[in-house]
Structure 1
Amino acid sequence: MPLPAPATLALALLMALINPHLAEASQPQPVVPAYQIAALEDWLDLNSPWPRKQARPQIRLVSQDQANALTGRAGRFGVTPRAFYDPAKSVIALISPFDPHDPYDLSVVLHELVHHRQHGAAHWYCAGAQEKSAYELQSQWLAERGLPDRINWMAVILEAGCTPRDIHPD
């Protein structure tokens, strides 16, 4: 038989007093801790030509299948995306698995924060035109940590070129 409401409340308060971390554990944890986002934004303030936006984007973790459904496409040029930015909703979707302690995964967050800053700050001939500068900043951030970038620069250049796809000669 369930306890009456006042007894349930009293039990919850008693448990919180005994172990205050129980209440914290029930709160969902952010995908990327706020201090890491702040550090990435601070780095971009010093290294990016685009200003920080007042509102931070929402950051969500999604599966590869969810990402394909949301973007309407899988990776291009044999590259599987690790994240994407939805400017209409101001949402960064990180594709699982994601480890906030892995510098490569954090560099993906930095890359998407660049897109957040780029949105509305300049004219782009196509969405892909934003990629080269975002990858250059990501590469610089990794290099400052002594890490190679592992970026497929040929795919980046092709994406940033805004050329039509699937061109065949007559």
Structure 2
Amino acid sequence: MIIKLNLGKKTMDFFLIEKTLKNEEGMVMIFSLMVLLILTIAGVAAINISNNETTIVRNEQLAASEFYEAETGINDARINYDNWLTDEFLSTSETSANSTFDSISTDDDGDPLATIQARCIEGTATPVFGTDNVADNIPAISHTDTPPDSSGYSVLSFEIRRYSITSTSNDGNTVAQTGVWKVFNKY
């Protein structure tokens, strides 16, 4: 359909306007570019999410590894108590007896997995390792007591002594602490 308007010397051809408006050439390219843009944004988002998840998993692995190092130090101190529960340690007063040593277990480079601090648990909880040391954060309870009822040790002949063992991982980011007791003959 061709409509011509005569406006004096100027004639307007509406056919060209209509043809231009109905022309769909190039729409596929615009649509394709929009789909490509959406897919690119989705791909970048997926890569970022994957990188974040990988970082989270790696941090969890490091935290677990450090916890195991600190726990290994606790177990080393419990099994090899003769490394810290020495005559000198036992002859020192309860409020000042302490020992700091490296764990027996080592990493692949030969470095100890943890640093261990042992001290007496006693009624005043007096700091023995210096200010702001986590190894001094212990309950204030009596150092000596009777053996537990089901332990098989006679209350008349034996007593227990309480100790705190604090183990810090090799990197120093994780600390594990436990209380232990050892049975001694009263005589």
- TM value normalised by structure 2: 0.21
More helix by share: 1
More strand by share: 2
- TM value normalised by structure 1: 0.23
